[in-house]
C-alpha cells in the first residue's frame, strides 16, 4: 500500500520475466485447521476475531497519506461463509473525494499479531476491480508508532490499481514492493506480475517467503519478486516484526480517481491467512 512522496529507488536483486501463464486457483477445498501453522486466520466464525484485528476508521491524514477518497468505517467488513469480505461501496448517487460518498474498511493486527524473518505467509484472496479501486494485503513494521513511515519498513504482498473495463490488464497485475528509509529519504523496490485473468475472477494464492537473507513474493506458486535484505539500509526495517493490514482504498496517488464507469460495490474476499515457520 504505497505512500507516494519523494521516491529513491534502490535495485537490489535481478528479477526474471513474468510473461508465462499462471495457474488459476479455483474454489478448492481447504483444510479447516492448519496443523503446521504457527498462526492462522481462517475466518470460520460468524464475526471478526477481535483478538486478532483492529479497525482503523476515518479519512486519515490527507487520505491516509495518499490523497485517497474513501471513508473507512467498521461497517464495511464482515465474516460470511468462511471468508472475510471487505466492501467498498457508494453511499450516494454521485461520488466525491472524502465527502462520505464512498466507504470501505481497513483492518490491522497492530498490537495483536506480528510476523518476521523465518516465516512463510500464505493468503487465499479474491480481489476487486475497476478504475480507482486499490486493494492491498501488506505489512508495516511494529515500531511504526516510534519511528514512523517509511523507517519502520513496509511489505506489499497484494497490491494493484484496478482499471476499466474488466479486461484491462491493470485488473490482472499484482505488485509487490518494499518501502524503507535510506539516508533519510524514501526508498522502494518492487516488481509486478500479470495473471492470465482478472484477479477478481477467482481466489488466488499470495505468498511471501521471508528469510534473514531475502524476501520473495509469489502468486499461485510463481516467484516474481526477490529483494536482498542481508545488509545496508534494508537490514534493520526487515529484520524486525511487522503487523498485517487488509484494505480497499478508492482513489489516490497510486490508483487514480474512480469515474462514472467504476462499478460499485467492490469486494476483497479473504479465505484465510496462514503463517508457517521456514
Range of the domain at 159: 42-277
Residue 261 annotated to the active site? no
Residue 9 falls within a domain, yes or no? no
Contact 21, 195 (CB under 8 A): no
Sign of CA dihedral 141, 143, 148, 150: negative
Contact 256, 81 (CB under 8 A): no
Q: Nearest Cα to 86, choosing from 263, 266, 254?
A: 266
**DSSP at 185:** E
Given the residues 41, 68, 122, 159, the one annotated as active site: 159
Contact 162, 171 (CB under 8 A): yes
Residue 35 falls within a domain, yes or no? no
Residue 16 falls within a domain, yes or no? no
Query: How many angstroms separate the CA atoms of 153 and 147, rounded?
Result: 10
Residue 2 falls within a domain, yes or no? no
- Structural domain count, the chain: 1
Query: How many angstroms separate the CA atoms of 193 and 21, rounded?
Result: 10
Q: At 270, which CATH number?
A: 2.60.120.200
Residue 81 falls within a domain, yes or no? yes
Query: How many angstroms separate the CA atoms of 104 and 87, rounded?
Result: 6
Given the residues 41, 154, 175, 207, the one annotated as active site: 154
Predicted confidence at residue 32, as pLDDT, reads 60
Query: How many angstroms separate the CA atoms of 217 and 184, rounded?
Result: 26
Question: Which residue blocks in the chain are alpha helix, DSSP H?
Answer: 144-147
Query: How many angstroms separate the CA atoms of 106 and 54, rounded?
Result: 8
Query: How many angstroms separate the CA atoms of 270 and 126, rounded?
Result: 7
Residues 6 or more apart whose Cβ sits within 8 Å of residue 30: 124, 271, 272
Using alpha carbons, list the distances in angstroms from residue 210 to 53, 173, 203, 225: 22, 22, 23, 12
Instruction: Please give the model's pTM, rounded to 2 decimal places.
Output: 0.91
Divide the 278 residues of the chain into consecutive groups of 10 and give the mean pLDDT of each group.
46 42 44 85 96 98 97 98 98 97 98 98 98 98 98 98 98 98 97 98 98 98 98 98 98 97 98 98
CA angle (217, 221, 224) in 5-degree steps: 40
β-pairing verdict for 185-194 and 8-9: parallel
Query: How many angstroms separate the CA atoms of 276 and 164, rounded?
Result: 37
Q: Nearest Cα to 225, choosing from 124, 155, 137?
A: 155
Residue 10 falls within a domain, yes or no? no
Q: Nearest Cα to 69, choosing from 248, 252, 247?
A: 252
Predicted confidence at residue 33, as pLDDT, reads 75
The number of angstroms, rounded, from the C-alpha of 51 to the middle of its chain's C-alpha atoms is 21
Query: How many angstroms separate the CA atoms of 44 and 50, rounded?
Result: 13
Residue 228 falls within a domain, yes or no? yes
Residue 68 annotated to the active site? no
Residue 134 falls within a domain, yes or no? yes
Amino acid at each position: 500500500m504505497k505512500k507516494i512522496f519523494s521516491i529513491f529507488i534502490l535495485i537490489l536483486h535481478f528479477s526474471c520475466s513474468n510473461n508465462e501463464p499462471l495457474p488459476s486457483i479455483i474454489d478448492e477445498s481447504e483444510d479447516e485447521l492448519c496443523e503446521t501453522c504457527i498462526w492462522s486466520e481462517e475466518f470460520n466464525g460468524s464475526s471478526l476475531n477481535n483478538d486478532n484485528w483492529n479497525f482503523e476508521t476515518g479519512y486519515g491524514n490527507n487520505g491516509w497519506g495518499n490523497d485517497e477518497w474513501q471513508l473507512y468505517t467498521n461497517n464495511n467488513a464482515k465474516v460470511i461463509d468462511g471468508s472475510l469480505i471487505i466492501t467498498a461501496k457508494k453511499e450516494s448517487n454521485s461520488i466525491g473525494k472524502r465527502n462520505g460518498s464512498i466507504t470501505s474498511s481497513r483492518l490491522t493486527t497492530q498490537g495483536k499479531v506480528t510476523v518476521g524473518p523465518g516465516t512463510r505467509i500464505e493468503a487465499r484472496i479474491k480481489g476487486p476491480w475497476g478504475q480507482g479501486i486499490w486493494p492491498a494485503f501488506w505489512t508495516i513494521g511494529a515500531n511504526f508508532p516510534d519511528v514512523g513511515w517509511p523507517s519502520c519498513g513496509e511489505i506489499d504482498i497484494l497490491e494493484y490499481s484496478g482499471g476499466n473495463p474488466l479486461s484491462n490488464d491493470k485488473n490482472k497485475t499484482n505488485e509487490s514492493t518494499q518501502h524503507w528509509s535510506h539516508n533519510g529519504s524514501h526508498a522502494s523496490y518492487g516488481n509486478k506480475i500479470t495473471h492470465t485473468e482478472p484477479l477478481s475472477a477467482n481466489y488466488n494464492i499470495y505468498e511471501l517467503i521471508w528469510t534473514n537473507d531475502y524476501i520473495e513474493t509469489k502468486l499461485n506458486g510463481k516467484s516474481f519478486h526477490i529483494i536482498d535484505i542481508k545488509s545496508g539500509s534494508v537490514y534493520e526495517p526487515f529484520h524486525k516484526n511487522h503487523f498485517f493490514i487488509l484494505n480497499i482504498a478508492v482513489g489516490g496517488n497510486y490508483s487514480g480517481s474512480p469515474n462514472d464507469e467504476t462499478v460499485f460495490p467492490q469486494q476483497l474476499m479473504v479465505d484465510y491467512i496462514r503463517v508457517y515457520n521456514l
